[in-house]
Amino acid sequence: MRAHIGDQLVVESPSTGAVRRDGEIVRVPHEDGTPPYEVRWADTNEVTLVFPGPDAHVQHLSHPPEAERPRPTPAESDKPALWPFDPGDVGRRVAHERRRQRLTRAEVAERSGISASYLAYLEERPANPTSGTLNGLAGALGTTVRQLRGAGVDLPPGGGEAGYHPELRELDPEECRSRLSTHGVGRIAVMTADGLTVVPVNYEVVDGAIAYRTAPGTAPAAAVGEKVAFEVDHVDEAMSRGWSVLVLGPARAVTEPEAVRRLTERAHTKPWAGGERPLWVLIEPERLTGRRIHTD
Cβ contact 232:187 at 8 Å: yes
> What residue ranges do the domains of the chain occupy?
8-77, 88-149, 167-294
**What pLDDT, on a 0 to 100 scale, did the predictor assign at position 48?**
83
H/E element, 213 = strand 209-214
Q: What is the mean pLDDT of each run of 10 residues along the chain (296 residues)?
A: 85 68 83 85 78 84 45 40 52 86 89 86 79 88 84 64 80 90 87 89 90 92 94 80 92 91 80 85 94 83
Tell me how far apart the alpha carbons of residues 276 and 271 are, in angstroms, rounded to a whole number. Answer: 9
Confidence (pTM): 0.54
Binning the chain into helix, strand and coil, the percentages to the nearest 5 are: 25, 30, 45
**What pLDDT, on a 0 to 100 scale, did the predictor assign at position 88?**
63
**What pLDDT, on a 0 to 100 scale, did the predictor assign at position 127?**
73
Number of Cβ atoms within 10 Å of the Cβ of 121: 20
**What pLDDT, on a 0 to 100 scale, did the predictor assign at position 84?**
41
CA 42 to each of CA 47, 51, 66, 156, 163: distance values in angstroms, whole numbers, following the listed order: 10, 17, 28, 46, 53
CATH number at 88-149: 1.10.260.40
Fold classified for 8-77: SH3 type barrels. (2.30.30)
CATH number at 167-294: 2.30.110.10
**What pLDDT, on a 0 to 100 scale, did the predictor assign at position 199?**
93
**What pLDDT, on a 0 to 100 scale, did the predictor assign at position 249?**
95
**What pLDDT, on a 0 to 100 scale, did the predictor assign at position 283?**
95
